[in-house]
Chains A and B, each alone.
Chain A
């Protein structure tokens, strides 16, 4: 029993960064932007958040700096792919190669010894955290967790209860019609991409500052791409993304915890989350909810050009 509780606790810890990053990607994709550079934005936040945390010990400052770092990388993406109409996948892929390498480079050049940041305080909700089994898992986590849950609610309201959410969705499905209705597709997509970057950067900090307390080169390890898969499996909906992130977090936690219990090669266990992602991609295939203009560039001046 204690094994499964520790797995559940670790699932939440590992799922939170993924959830934050996937929420960002959800917003970008709903507006019609495939953000392959997500990993880069996450990596920037993971590094900058960690550096600020190590230097100042101030978690709020680290969170803001991380979000800003992700936003900056997203600014490159938006400037090139949306305003400059460079191929979205190419731009994103270049950022995916460049930014994690840059954070690894800066870390190796500037940090001579292993630096560990203190674990964030656990905020327990009195009463609820006493519930057997799930109490501590769901109601005694650090602040990244609560912010992630709050953001889920905010994004859900955005897409289900507001005009802006509807406009974002319109840009993702049919930018021509959105333009005809007076929506500025370029600015909606720019805003969505920047928001995505900020969330991804914040998610990166949730990984290094919130979950691990340290940074190492390649720490994001493909999580940005797993987040994109989570959005696909979650069928571009907040609740779906939440479930997908939880499922992948659980798989990851399970393989980490089981590796100390059984004598099984760690490398084969490490394949488990990726196999789950592959199965999710197959299971999520062929649904009609995909934003129809996803990845397609758009110019309001020369709509036929796009």
Chain B
């Protein structure tokens, strides 16, 4: 059963259920805030204010939106054929590492050479990190869920090793590289805001995804997702599709890693994939695997992540709550989708 028939459900029903879902999320998350001795009203206000309350806050939301949307869009093709690549954190880290190697070593080149090179090598790094799980899945039927997760730990540990050893920067006790040369910084739109041109790449990815949805490849993906045996009968090379879609997801996550390294702190740091990595999968699923939907839900989650990051200072609440909210929203969404089983959603 395919994942993408959510759109067939009547709009009115969806809106009503959405309201119920939001109510449930607010109620349950308030309960968790109470258990953590925090004031939920204050926390929600701080989050909303942090994400949308000012231009600088909004630009910080955009800063999180670009990599998140890219990860989420990249995951759509593999999700369409029922593959759960939860390796985005590792692929982001690999992409960030590849981009850092280019940026730190070739920073003398002009920006119009360094930036594309860094971006491409990040894509290659992310794809490479996804390639092994993809091959294992295609050739040996090893669960991609487990193998991609294993690669998260391996890649992030390797990154931590590099950033405390060979690639360690000058700042004491921080697992991070030296700052990139200014040539390798992602250009920003407005001086003083960190929102960068990465958003243009999201638009490009969106256009590519729209084109893909209506192309023969998109059709083959949907066919294979609907039924493996039908897909095989139609002459679709399943192994090829598995490898290609997982590597596309890896490449997109890799580019997101480049954005994090070259756009946020202008250096490589160990926690580069947090918390974009896992959230990307939720954004893709919540967006119903439709390109526009994925972008909208990515924006929503980006605002949530930004809001969560302001909680520590604004309401003295530890930012771990963001993960709780993200997971909770996904659970409630999934439960609501289950109400529409007759529409064939997420069987």
Interface residues of A (CB under 8 A from B): 36, 76, 80, 84-87, 89-91, 93-102, 104-106, 108-110, 217, 222, 225, 228-229, 232, 265, 267-268, 270-271, 274-275, 277-278, 281-282, 285-286, 297, 305-306
Contact = CB atoms under 8 A, between A and B. Distances in A.
B327 A95 contact: yes
Query: Which DSSP category, helix, strand, loop or mixed, fits chain B's interface?
Result: helix
Contacts of B320: 101-102, 104-105, 108, 217
B323 A101 contact: yes
Interface residues of B, number: 49
Given A101-B324, A268-B157, A232 B146 contact: yes
Interface string B149-178: 111011001101100110000000000000
Contacts of A229: 146, 150
Query: Which DSSP category, helix, strand, loop or mixed, fits chain A's interface?
Result: helix
B9 to A, nearest CB: 15
Nearest to A286: B140
Contact of A225 (B146, B322, B323): B146
Contacts of B157: 267-268, 270-271, 274
Contacts of A97: 278, 282, 323, 326-327, 330
Interface in B92-124: none
A105 B337 CA distance: 28
A80 B335 contact: yes
B86 interface: yes
B346 A87 contact: yes
A114 to B, nearest CB: 16
Nearest to B32: A102
Interface string B316-332: 01101111101110110
Contacts of A98: 323-324, 326-328, 330-331
24 contacts: A80-B331, A84-B338, A86-B337, A91-B331, A91-B334, A93-B281, A93-B330, A94-B334, A97-B278, A101-B321, A101-B324, A102-B323, A102-B324, A104-B318, A105-B36, A106-B36, A108-B318, A108-B320, A217-B320, A268-B161, A271-B154, A271-B157, A286-B140, A305-B347
A281 to B, nearest CB: 5
Contacts of A99: 327
A58 B186 CA distance: 56
B142 A222 contact: no
A277 B147 CA distance: 9
B37 interface: yes
